[in-house]
Structures are given as C-alpha cells and as structure tokens.
Amino acid sequence: MITVALAKGALLKDSVSRFAKAGLDFSNLLDKGNRQLMVPSACGRAKAILVRNGDVPVYVAYGQAQLGVVGYDVLREHQLPVAHLVDLGFGGCRMAVAVKDTSAYKSASDLPPHCRVASKFTHCARSFFNQLDLPVELVHLTGSVELGPITGMAEAIVDLVATGRTLRDNGLVAIEELFYSTARLVGNPLALRLDHGDLQRIIDSIRSNDHPNNFSS
C-alpha cells in the first residue's frame, strides 16, 4: 500500500484536492472532528499520514512514506535526500530578509558585518549571506522572529512572507527576497526506482491535472 505524508495546516486542503484528482480520497483529514493521524483512501490503494510540515521530508526520506507534499522552504532548509517531483503551485510565499521600516537598510548587503539576524531558517539564511560574502551572527528562533528587530536583539530577520501584513503590523519591511516557495510533491528515491507503475501513475495524474514544473532531482 502506498503511504502519502501530508502536512497539517495551510497546505492540507489543497494537498487533499490534488490527490483527489489523482483518484486518492483523503478527505477525512479535513473533517474537524477527525483525530486520526493515519487514514486510508476510499479506494483502499493508499493511506495518508498527517504530520507537521517540517516532518514530511523526514518520513519520505526514511521510506515510511513513498510520496509527500511539503513547502519548498522546508526542502531548502533541511536538505534531505528526497526526489523533487512536481511544483504544485499552491501555498506560495517568499523567503525574505526584513528589517525595521525606520532603518536605513535598503538591501541585505547594506547590513553591517557581524550583525545579528534572527530566523527559523538558519540554513537558508547562512547560504544566502555566504553568497553575499557578508558575515552575520545567526540567531535561531522557533517562534515569532519579528520580535528580533522589535526588541533590538537582531538587526534583521529571514522569514517567510505571504501577504506581508505581519511585517507591516509590526513595523517591519522586506528588503530582499531569497527565493519563492510553493508546495512540492516529493518522493522516496528508492521507492521510485522499485516502482512497478503505481507511484508513477499518481505522479503523472497530479502533473497532468496541475500543469506544474517538472524537476529532475
């Protein structure tokens, strides 16, 4: 039986919709009264496990799920060995550098060397600032990173930005974009190599229904 790892939260509704178009009904996951973390599809050919967004590539990489849907930001941050299959197009947001709207910084390169930058995405942030050849002190936070500049702990943050309202409401402004993130269909490389066609049919169905981008790795 095929196992699909789906993320709780903002990506779930559209993820369920995409798999429904491929013939796998996981709509029970959208029932507010449902407390099950693993549900079978109506056809009985597959099951879905409901996990946190950051855990999706972990389950796929370790083979407990053959397919999964996860944000590109998570894939960039954790760098786990999963196959990037389809850009699903939903859940769009920007990974961006933001500062106080009263600051004089207009781009990331304006930040002073060795300043503190707060982020949940320290790997992405480190790669970005390394490319700029700008040494910074990264402060890992798991909660509201906007508080970094507000409290004076950090000069800037690196975080996901969707509408930008949270930044505006807290007196912050985005000054540079690292990359654009959308939900991606990923797969376990070994499962894909051993596939007798079942996984590929699901992938092809999702791809044909979605008109997404195709990835080679």
Domain span at 7 = 2-91+182-210
Q: Which among 117, 119, 118, 124 has a CA at the least distance from the CA of 78?
A: 124
Whether residue 68 is found in the same domain as residue 82: yes
Cβ pair 203, 185 in contact under 8 A: yes
What's 48's domain CATH number?
A: 3.40.190.10
pTM: 0.88
Q: How far apart are CA 208 and CA 54, in angstroms?
A: 27
120 and 16 in a common domain: no
The reply to whether 55 and 25 lie within a common domain is yes
Indicate whether 104 and 148 sit together in one domain.
Answer: yes
Torsion of CA 65, 66, 70, 74, to 10 degrees: 80
Whether residue 68 contacts residue 54, with contact meaning beta carbons closer than 8 Å, is answered with no
Q: For position 119, what pLDDT does the model report?
A: 98
Q: What is the pLDDT of residue 217?
A: 30
13 falls within a domain? yes
Unique residue bearing structure tokens 């599809």? 41
* pLDDT tens track for 188-216: 999 999 999 999 999 999 998 754 444 33
Is residue 36 located within the same domain as residue 50? Answer: yes
**35 belongs to a structural domain:** yes
217 belongs to a structural domain: no
Q: Mean pLDDT across the chain, nearest whole number?
A: 92
* Pick from 34-43, 68-77, 100-109: least confident: 34-43
Question: How many distinct structural domains can be found in the chain?
Answer: 2
Query: Same domain for 35 and 107?
Result: no
